[in-house]
């Protein structure tokens, strides 16, 4: 899996009710009244009950509720307030309907509705993607649902899949995300451009098991790819950085479609593609960089394979070999040159811009790997820039300064803002004893990444800042199990300034439509794209000069 921050999900069929053989005693009413409601996690109501007290919905700590063998004819929609409920037994009642609000009770793992008078089910029940047991026998259900139930091999997930695929889609699309102005554009000879960073969610990761709250038809790649392309063309960024792009889809879909709109692009799959057959390679995802050809020219590209870098720098470290080298994440860089006319005063000036995209390992149990991959990324970028500067006529004092060339760093770093990864990128340093290293032994094999021996820190030389300030985007990844900021755009603060950023999706729209996670029929990925407008101020422009090198133009 590419990027999930929460622990891996268990198979729904592995769920075992925590107390299959209940042993309980009847508590006197006086004692029950004295006990705080949060102490009760299980409750059984018996006695031919036909109506439920509204006070029941205040017992939000309940995980199991037994209402079976009563005379209930309906259940109020307020039952959805029991957000922690995992087991609900309302079998052997007189229920004629189920409230659609029950579909929002996404902690439910068992729902027993057998032996009632149900003739239909609300399609909202299809959103109960964690449900592993749904009992419906003994109900006068008809139509397609009954056909599915009567199959010898019928599974709970078959019923849920049918229901969610027939769930009405909200007619309202998400409101336009606001554009937030950070600085007024200066009337100088600067060049302004926009950049997008977007993890589009590779087709092979968009499974029912991972995103059971999304209809199957909305997970289908033929549906999602059109919405993804529509989103790319809506923002029309001058530079587009993408992650989780499938190899075949890059060459057969995105590159030709974006070429029609004036883009060219580069791509590389993850390292595992090298070990696969041609047919298997087509489905390996990787990173891509697209750029507007009327504004930029590609000078050179550079691939960074973290497993290869880990092997080259292991220095006998078992942790480096067993933890870091086994992850095949990559970074991809494009050295671009601005075209004459890209500047506001229509001069023939041009300069280089180094654009890098990366997709860092996803698993939260491997925070050390995330940090080391990021360190290797920055070290490789330094080496790449050094090589460029050595072949130019930059004055000798500047040949060792990678900040001579403006850097734009984008990616899905799978790391929260308070992580070691973002601390390292933002401040240029991280302690060798940072908790994200998890006390694994890396110090010796990472000695070339900064001045660890002298300062007890690992450093990188790039002076970069985050384009999005804290709080602007409450999340860039929005799934049921995790919501947070893990996608970033960094820029050289010596050469660029932020003019504006694309704001967050409307939280009211998410709440009103009860969208607990993406993808969604109106949102094609579990990530939201981030977009920034940057002003690139004139520096000492370096451009390719035939036949042998790069020449500095003052």
**Residue among 407, 250, 440 nearest 334 (CA):** 407
Structure tokens given for 112: 């027993």
Question: Residue 464 and residue 400: Cα distance in Å, rounded?
Answer: 17
Contact 356, 370 (CB under 8 A): no
Question: Residue 193 and residue 475: Cα distance in Å, rounded?
Answer: 24
412: annotated active-site residue: yes
Q: Read out DSSP for 408-474?
A: EEEEE----TTSHHHHHHHHSEEETT-GGGTT-S-TTTTTTSS-HHHHSEEE----EEESSPTTT-S
Q: How many CB atoms lie within 10 A of CB 86?
A: 21
Contact 116, 156 (CB under 8 A): no
Q: If DSSP codes are grouped into helix, strand and coil, which group holds residue 288? A: strand
Contact 291, 264 (CB under 8 A): yes
Residue among 368, 412, 436, 487 flagged as catalytic: 412
Burial 469-507 (b: 16+ CB within 10 A, else e): eeebbebbbbbbebbbbbbbbbbbbbbbbbbbbbbbbee
15 vs 12, 23, 86, 110, 144, CA distance in Å? 6, 20, 10, 9, 27
Q: Read out DSSP for 73-137?
A: S---GGGGG-TT--EEE--SS------GGGGG-TT--EEE--SS--S---GGGGG-TT--EEE-T
For 294-333, where are the alpha helices, taking DSSP H only?
A: 306-312, 318-319
416 vs 487, 488, 506, 532, CA distance in Å? 9, 10, 21, 19
55 vs 41, 51, 82, 218, CA distance in Å? 15, 12, 11, 39
**Residue among 271, 273, 282, 274 nearest 305 (CA):** 271
Structure tokens given for 292: 């507007």
Contact 254, 229 (CB under 8 A): yes
End-to-end C-alpha distance for the chain, whole angstroms: 48
Q: How far is CA 296 from the centre of its chain?
A: 29
Q: If DSSP codes are grouped into helix, strand and coil, which group holds residue 308? A: helix
Residues classed as catalytic: 412
């Amino acid at each position: 899996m590419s990027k999930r921050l929460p622990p891996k999900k268990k198979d729904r069929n592995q769920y075992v009710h925590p107390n299959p053989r209940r042993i309980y005693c009847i508590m006197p009413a006086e004692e029950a009244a004295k006990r705080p409601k949060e102490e009760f996690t299980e409750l059984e109501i018996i006695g031919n009950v036909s109506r439920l007290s509204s006070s029941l919905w205040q017992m939000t700590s309940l995980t199991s509720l037994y209402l079976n063998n009563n005379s209930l004819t309906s259940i109020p929609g307020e039952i959805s307030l029991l957000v922690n409920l995992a087991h609900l037994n309302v079998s052997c009642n007189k229920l004629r309907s189920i409230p659609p609000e029950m579909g929002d009770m996404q902690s439910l793992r068992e729902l027993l509705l057998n032996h009632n008078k149900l003739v239909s089910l609300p399609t909202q029940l299809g959103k109960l993607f964690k449900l592993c047991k749904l009992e419906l026998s003994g109900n006068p259900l008809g139509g397609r649902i009954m056909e599915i139930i009567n199959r010898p091999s019928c599974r709970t997930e078959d019923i849920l899949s049918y229901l969610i695929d027939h769930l009405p889609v909200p007619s309202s699309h998400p409101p336009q995300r606001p554009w937030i102005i950070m600085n007024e554009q200066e009337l100088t000879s600067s060049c302004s451009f926009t950049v997008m960073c977007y993890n589009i969610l590779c087709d092979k990761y968009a499974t029912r098991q991972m995103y059971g709250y999304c209809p199957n038809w909305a997970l289908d790649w033929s549906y999602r790819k059109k919405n993804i392309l529509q989103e790319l063309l809506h923002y029309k960024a001058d530079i587009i950085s993408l992650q989780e792009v499938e190899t075949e889809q890059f060459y057969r879909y995105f590159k030709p479609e974006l070429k029609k709109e004036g883009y060219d692009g580069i791509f590389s799959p993850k390292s595992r593609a090298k070990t696969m057959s041609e047919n298997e390679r087509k489905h390996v995802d990787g990173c891509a960089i697209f750029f507007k050809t009327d504004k930029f020219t590609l000078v050179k590209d550079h691939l960074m394979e973290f497993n290869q870098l880990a092997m080259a720098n292991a220095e006998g470290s078992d942790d480096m070999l067993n933890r870091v080298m086994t992850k095949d994440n990559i970074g991809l860089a494009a050295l671009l040159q601005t075209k004459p006319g890209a500047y506001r005063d229509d001069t023939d000036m041009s300069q280089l811009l180094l654009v890098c995209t990366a997709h860092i390992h996803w698993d939260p149990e491997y925070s050390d790997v995330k940090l080391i991959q990021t360190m290797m990324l920055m070290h490789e970028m330094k080496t790449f820039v050094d090589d460029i500067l050595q072949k130019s006529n930059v004055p000798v004092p500047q040949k060792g300064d990678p900040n001579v060339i403006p850097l734009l760093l984008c990616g899905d770093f799978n790391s929260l803002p308070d992580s070691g990864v973002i601390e390292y990128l933002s401040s240029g340093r991280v302690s060798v004893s940072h908790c994200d290293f998890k006390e694994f032994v890396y110090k010796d094999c990472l000695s070339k990444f900064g001045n660890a021996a002298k300062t007890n820190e690992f450093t990188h030389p790039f002076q970069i800042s985050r384009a999005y300030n804290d709080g602007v985007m409450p999340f860039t990844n929005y799934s049921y199990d995790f919501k947070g900021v893990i996608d970033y755009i960094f820029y050289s603060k010596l050469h660029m300034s932020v003019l504006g950023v694309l704001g967050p999706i409307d939280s009211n729209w998410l709440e009103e439509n009860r969208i607990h996670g993406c993808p969604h029929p109106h949102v094609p990925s579990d990530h939201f794209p981030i977009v920034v407008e940057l002003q690139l101020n004139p520096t000492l422009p370096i451009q390719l000069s035939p036949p042998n090198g790069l020449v500095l133009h003052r």
